[in-house]
Amino acid sequence: MEVLMSSLIGVEDPVKFLMWFFIVLMFVFLMFLFTLKTRKKLSNRHVAVRKTNTVIYSTLIIAVALISGVFALELNGSNEGNGLEDTAGIKSIEEIEAIESLEHIAHTNEHYLFGIDISHYQGEIKWDEVKASDHPIEFVFIRSTMGVDGKDTHYHANWVDAKKHDYIRGAYHYYRPNENSTKQFENFASTVTLVTGDFPPILDIEEPSRFGDKKLREGVLNWLKLAEAKYGVKPVVYTGKHFYDTRLKGYLKGYPLWIAAYSGKSRVSDVEWTFHQFSEEVEIAGIDTAVDGNSFHMTMKELQSMCIGETHHSKKYWKNYKH
C-alpha cells in the first residue's frame, strides 16, 4: 500500500507527507470557522468592513495553506536527504566488528597490537587516565612539525608524557607538498630528538602538490632520504589508501607503510602495510576528543625490534604485510 501511495503522489515517504497534508487542512478549516464567526458578529451597517475582512482572511488562509504545504514538502525532502547522510554514516557490521576487535585486540589476538596517534587537536591529555583505560595501547604516534616552520604546540608535552607512561613513541611530520622538502626536514630534525626505544621518523603525506605528482614524489623521497641519513633507519610513510593508490604506489619501495582506511581490513588487503589506521573515532578515557586507532600486524617483540637503538634492528621487521 505504501509503495502504491508513493507512486501515486510522487513522494518517497507518503505517510509523513499525508500527515503534514492533513495538519495543513485542519489548520485551514479552523481558520475558516474563525472567519465565519467573525462575519456573524459584524452588523449589516458594516458591509464594507465585512468585505474587507473577508478578503484579508481569505488571503491569509490561502497564504498559510501554500506556506504550510511548501514547508511540508521541504521537510519531507530534508528528511529524505538526512536519511541518506545517516545511512552513509552508519558503519557496516564489518566496520563495527573491526573497530571493536582492534580496540581490544591485545586481549584476543596476538597478531595485532593497538596504538593511537595524537596532535594538538586532542588538547591536554590526562595521561594517567589513558594509562588506566581499558584500551590496550602499546604505541603512540605524536605530531611534531608541519611544513617548513610549523610546530605542534602540544608536541613536547606529549613526547615527554608518552615516554613517562612507558609507551613506544614515534614522531611524525605533516608534509606540505608546496613547500621546500629540505627545509621541511630541517624543521623536523631541529625539533625531534630520537633516542633508544623510539620509532624511526614518520612522514605524513595527505595533500597533492600544485606542481604535480612527479614533484610531489621527488620532494617526499628527498625528505625520506635525509631522514634515513640522519637517524640511520628507514622512515615510515603515512598516507591514505586512495592517495597511495593514485600518487605514491610503486615509488616507496623499502619504506614501511602506515595506511589509513576506515572500512576494515578488506580495504587494505591489496596493500603491503606495516601499520593500519582503521578508525578516526576511537574514544579513550583521558582524551577529550576522538582519536585515530591503529593496528600493528606483528608481535610486541617485533614492534620493539623496529625501534631505534636495537642491536638486532632488521629490515625484516619493516617488511610490509599483505593480509
Residues 258 and 136 in one domain: yes
Name the packing angle between helices 2-9 and 14-41 (round to 10°). 60
> Between 130 and 298, where is the model more confident?
130
Please name which of 219, 218, 267 lies closest in space to residue 245, comparing C-alpha atoms: 267
Of the candidate ranges 14-23, 169-178, 243-252, 290-299, the one whose mean pLDDT is the lowest:
14-23
Q: Are residues 79 and 197 in the same domain?
A: no
pLDDT of residue 299 exceeding 50: yes
206 in catalytic set: yes
Residues 209 and 233 in one domain: yes
| Catalytic status, residue 288 | no
Mean pLDDT confidence for 53-82: 54
Compute the average pLDDT of residues 130-154: 94
Query: Residue 269: what pLDDT?
Result: 72
Position 100 in a domain: yes
Q: How far apart are CA 158 and CA 153, in angstroms?
A: 10
* 53-67, 87-101, 276-290 — most confident range: 276-290
Residue 323 lies in a domain: no
Tell me which of 50, 67, 89 is where a domain ends. 89
Site of grid cell 578516526: 280
Q: Long-range CB contacts (< 8 A, 24+ apart) of 226-233?
A: 226/182, 226/185, 226/189, 227/185, 227/188, 227/189, 227/200, 227/201, 227/203, 230/189, 231/194, 231/200, 231/201, 231/308, 232/308, 233/200, 233/308, 233/313
Over residues 155-165, the pLDDT tens digits come to 999 999 999 99
Among candidate residues 64, 89, 114, the one where a domain is terminated: 89
The pLDDT tens digits of the residues spanning 173-196 come to 999 999 999 999 999 999 999 999
For residues 299-304, average pLDDT: 83
| Choice between 154 and 1, residue whose per-residue pLDDT is larger | 154
Looking at the predicted structure, is the pLDDT value of residue 102 above 80? Answer: no
More confident residue, 41 or 256: 256
> How far, in Å, are 93, 200, 243 from residue 295 at the CA level?
19, 17, 20
308 shares a domain with 167: yes
Distance (Å, whole) CA 130 – CA 295: 17
Contact 264, 95 (CB under 8 A): yes
Q: What is the pLDDT of residue 280?
A: 87
Query: For residues 165 and 118, what is the distance between their CA atoms, to the nearest angstrom?
Result: 15
Question: What's the structural domain count of the chain?
Answer: 2
CB atoms within 10 A of CB 224: 21
Mean pLDDT in residue range 91-103: 48
Query: What is the domain range of residue 43?
Result: 2-89
The reply to whether 201 and 106 lie within a common domain is: yes
Residues 60 and 98 in one domain: no
* Active-site residue identified among 94, 206, 207, 288: 206
At CB < 8 A and 24+ separation, what contacts does 44-49 make?
none
Residue-by-residue DSSP string for 202-221 = EEE-----TT-HHHHHHHHH
Average pLDDT value for residue range 30-50? 57
pLDDT of 274 above 80:
yes
Does residue 15 register a pLDDT over 80?
no
What pLDDT sits at residue 271? 80
Longest distance between any two alpha carbons in the chain, whole Å: 109
Q: Return the pLDDT at 90.
A: 41
Give me the pLDDT at residue 213, please.
Answer: 95
| Angle at 112 (CA atoms; ends 109, 115), nearest 5 degrees | 125
Say whether pLDDT at 115 is over 50: yes
User: Is residue 10 domain-shared with residue 144, that is, in the same domain?
Assistant: no
Same domain, 16 and 103: no
Q: At what angle do helices 47-89 and 14-41 cross, to 10 degrees?
A: 160
Grid coordinates of 112: 595485532
pLDDT surpassing 90 at residue 172: yes
Out of 112-116, 185-189, 292-296, 315-319, the most confident range is 185-189
Cα gap 173→175, rounded to integer Å:
6
Per-residue pLDDT band for 296 (boundaries 50, 70, 90) equals confident
Lowest mean pLDDT among 5-19, 177-191, 277-291, 298-312: 5-19
Instruction: For residue 150, give the CATH number of its domain.
Output: 3.20.20.80
Burial 172-206 (b: 16+ CB within 10 A, else e): bbbbbbebebeebbebbbebbebeeebbbbbbbbe
Mark whether 46 and 19 lie in a shared domain.
Answer: yes
Please state, rounded to an integer, the average pLDDT across all residues of the chain. 76
What pLDDT shows up at residue 18? 62
Dist CA 145 CA 189 (whole Å): 9
Out of 27-31, 93-97, 236-240, which region has the weakest mean confidence (pLDDT)?
A: 93-97
Domain end among 89, 106, 126:
89
Please give the pLDDT value at position 70. 53
Give the C-alpha separation, 11 to 33, whole Å: 31
pLDDT of 109 > 70? The answer is: no
| Active-site residue identified among 117, 138, 198, 204 | 117
pLDDT at 53: 58
Residues 231 and 300 both lie in one domain: yes
- Above 90 in pLDDT, residue 110? no
Residue 80 has pLDDT above 80, yes or no: no
Q: Residue 240 — φ and ψ, nearest 5°?
A: -80, 155
